[in-house]
């Protein structure tokens, strides 16, 4: 039996599976929006919580775009493509809005590590955590639904019959190594401060007096290892020296999921932080960074490295996604024309 025949028989099953995924994504977007509204009303805050507007708008756009695809109201090819792009864009926005979960987790750890000294840290609100968790889950469902919809019109791999993008974006092979290098300035200097170093410090009594300064180092170093996992062989197959699991393939989602989450966090924080640092440095009415306890190059260097790290990490994740497809033919870029189906044995 040829692959074409198998694909023809599986077409109804793929269509049914896609509709289930799309329906679940629409339900997830609706739940995210509803819980966001409920949390805002019960919270009684004067303004929106961080990421609220982005999450609400993205869940609304994503739900409407996927509903248009499921119901067939977007009948023209251009409208279907616009709806699919809208669903994917909404998923990216949901990931960015939900990425504030990292700061929620860091706030909990910092409060436990610093004790009463962390009283000025923003409290973690369970309702907001629920909204951000729903946003990440809805984003995953929306991506699956959008990919399932586009698979019908995309060219197929001649070997494994998976759908391939019409235009393959490429990232430099060294992007993962660059991402790892760009992730190191912050944790290295922070660890140096914890060990008593005064590098970049003008007021050691202030900086060394902060308890829990090691907490942000943990996610930063995790991101460093993740950056290498995107380009090293052990990011696809576990090393043989690992007991029991050695030699087993690494699930793609276990690497790509945290990578996408990390890119969302960096995209959310780094650009605004760089602009804020530049405005602070040029504003004569604000105290200089040296009065806070740091030399001017420290925050600007940190934030600039985060911005470049996000760019390099996104490129490395894209390359990992292309190379870890599980099929040698899938790893090759696809031209504008559709791939030819395999010959009948």
Both tokens assigned to 328: 């040698």
Distance CA 148, CA 63 (A): 16
Question: DSSP label at 309?
Answer: H
What are the structural domain ranges in the chain? 3-150, 175-327
Both tokens assigned to 105: 């987790």
Distance CA 123, CA 97 (A): 18
User: What pLDDT, on a 0 to 100 scale, did the predictor assign at position 13?
Assistant: 62
SS3 content of the chain, % helix, strand, coil (to 5): 65, 0, 30
User: What pLDDT, on a 0 to 100 scale, did the predictor assign at position 335?
Assistant: 38
Distance CA 109, CA 212 (A): 8
Q: How far is CA 139 from CA 261, 303, 311, in A?
A: 11, 27, 21
> Which distant-in-sequence residues (6+ apart) come within 8 Å of 307 by Cβ?
266, 270, 271, 274
> Which distant-in-sequence residues (6+ apart) come within 8 Å of 299 by Cβ?
273, 277, 289
Distance CA 341, CA 163 (A): 12
User: What pLDDT, on a 0 to 100 scale, did the predictor assign at position 106?
Assistant: 76
User: What pLDDT, on a 0 to 100 scale, did the predictor assign at position 7?
Assistant: 44
User: What pLDDT, on a 0 to 100 scale, did the predictor assign at position 158?
Assistant: 55
**pLDDT tens, the chain, 345 aa long:** 444 444 444 556 666 777 888 889 999 999 999 999 888 887 665 667 878 888 999 999 999 998 888 887 767 777 888 888 888 889 988 988 888 888 888 777 777 766 655 555 567 788 888 999 999 999 988 888 877 776 655 555 555 555 555 445 677 888 999 999 999 999 999 999 988 888 888 888 877 777 777 888 988 999 999 999 999 999 988 888 888 888 888 888 899 989 988 998 888 788 878 877 777 767 666 666 666 778 888 888 898 999 999 999 999 998 898 887 655 555 554 433 333 333 333
User: What pLDDT, on a 0 to 100 scale, did the predictor assign at position 85?
Assistant: 86
User: What pLDDT, on a 0 to 100 scale, did the predictor assign at position 185?
Assistant: 94
User: What pLDDT, on a 0 to 100 scale, did the predictor assign at position 52?
Assistant: 87
Distance CA 164, CA 338 (A): 9
User: What pLDDT, on a 0 to 100 scale, did the predictor assign at position 12?
Assistant: 62
Both tokens assigned to 144: 């699956």
Which 3 state secondary structure label does DSSP give 186? helix
> Which distant-in-sequence residues (6+ apart) come within 8 Å of 185 by Cβ?
301, 302, 305
């Amino acid at each position: 039996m040829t692959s074409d025949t198998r694909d023809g028989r599986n077409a109804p099953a793929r269509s049914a599976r896609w509709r289930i995924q799309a329906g679940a994504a629409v339900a997830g977007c609706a739940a995210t929006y509803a819980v966001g509204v409920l949390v805002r009303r019960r919270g009684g805050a004067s303004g929106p919580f961080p990421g609220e507007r982005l999450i609400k708008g993205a869940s609304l756009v994503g739900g409407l775009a996927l509903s248009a695809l499921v119901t067939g109201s977007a009948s023209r090819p251009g409208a279907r493509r616009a709806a699919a792009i809208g669903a994917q864009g909404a998923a990216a926005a949901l990931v960015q809005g939900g990425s504030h979960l990292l700061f929620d987790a860091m706030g909990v750890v910092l409060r436990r590590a610093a004790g009463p000294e962390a009283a000025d840290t923003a409290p973690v609100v369970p309702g907001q955590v629920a909204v951000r968790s729903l946003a990440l889950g809805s984003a995953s469902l929306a991506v699956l639904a959008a990919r399932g919809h586009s698979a019908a019109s995309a060219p197929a791999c001649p070997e494994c019959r998976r759908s391939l993008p019409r235009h393959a974006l490429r990232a430099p092979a060294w992007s993962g190594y660059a991402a790892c290098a760009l992730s190191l300035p912050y944790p290295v200097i922070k660890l140096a401060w914890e060990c008593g170093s005064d590098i970049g410090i003008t007021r050691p009594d202030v900086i060394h007096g902060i308890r829990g300064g090691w907490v942000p180092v943990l996610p930063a170093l995790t991101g460093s290892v993740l950056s290498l996992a995107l380009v090293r062989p052990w990011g696809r197959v576990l090393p043989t020296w690992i007991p029991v699991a050695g030699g087993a393939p690494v699930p793609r989602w276990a690497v790509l999921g945290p990578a996408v989450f990390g890119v969302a966090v960096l995209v959310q924080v780094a650009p605004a932080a760089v602009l804020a640092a530049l405005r602070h440095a040029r504003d004569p009415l604000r105290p200089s960074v040296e009065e806070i306890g740091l030399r001017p190059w420290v925050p600007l260097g940190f934030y600039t490295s985060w911005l470049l790290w996000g760019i390099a990490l996104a490129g490395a994740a894209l390359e990992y996604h292309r190379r870890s497809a599980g099929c040698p033919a899938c790893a090759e870029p696809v031209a504008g024309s559709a791939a030819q189906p395999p010959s009948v044995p």
